Structure 1
Amino acid sequence: MLPFEAGRHALDAYRREYETNVLGTLDVTRAFVPALARDGGGAILNVLSVLSWASLPSEAAYGAAKAAEWSVTNSLRLELAEQNIQVTALHVGRMDTDLIAGRGIEGAADPADIARIALDGVERGQLEVVADDFTRQVKAGLSLGIKDLYPQLAQA
């Protein structure tokens, strides 16, 4: 839903997504950092999305919030490194969750597989885990230019 559509309803969707994905990430991190720091460090895994890097009009509020959460994750990574706290970003595309249930989306990843990939990445000290081919493809497209990332704009 675009912010200018459907009046207040669209703006409420943006607020809800921002509060959940950005402020929620900050709240959870603030709750755990004192214990992690007291124990000499640890790891935080923030679950992001391929929509951190690319937008879909039908998921505009979610994508904007995930992009902001990615920025927050990068800031937390820098801020918490001195306390020996690793902050890892997990970027994933289609995953078989309630978020996509009933939408007829094919090829969604098993959440258990994604969890294993994410935890393996954290264990290896990766700061960013790109969990699937679709997300790797989108990430690679970021350096190509806007019309490569959004081919429909090339015809506009």
Structure 2
Amino acid sequence: MSTSRTARILAVVGLPIVASFAYVGTASADPPHPFGGAAVTIGCPNQGSLASMTGLTGQSGPEANPPIAKGDIRFESFPAAAPIPAAGQVTVAWVNTDTGKAGIVDLMGTYPYLSATVNTGVGNVVATAFGSINWGSSPICQSNPTIGRFIA
């Protein structure tokens, strides 16, 4: 076998192996995972529109930024389509189907970007998000629930 052929074989086989050992970093969590669909709010008049949509995600840890520990999930809400309501409250009810641990949490922050990190424990988690929407001086309306599945 020639020297150049040996060098090519080592490069093709050896470099990926060396590269896998050379890069040792910290694993990061998956990106935020969306709920099954956006939560639709209907029946609230605002700028000629009778509907609004709120998007929701869940992100499991461990993660450095935002800080999410192992066994925790960070739930977040954001406007999915205009118009954006003046104010609102989004609540998430969740259950870890592996351990039976469950809870309900109100998302906090500056509306419409609300979030909360909860300790669900490690396992499969099913969550539903729902809320009430305030259109300034208009009546409060109910946001239809949406459901998501996550792995903590």
Q: What TM-score does the superposition give when structure 2 sets the normalisation length?
A: 0.25
Which has more helix, going by share of residues? 1
Which has more strand, going by share of residues? 2
Q: What TM-score does the superposition give when structure 1 sets the normalisation length?
A: 0.25
Q: Which has the larger radius of gyration?
A: 2
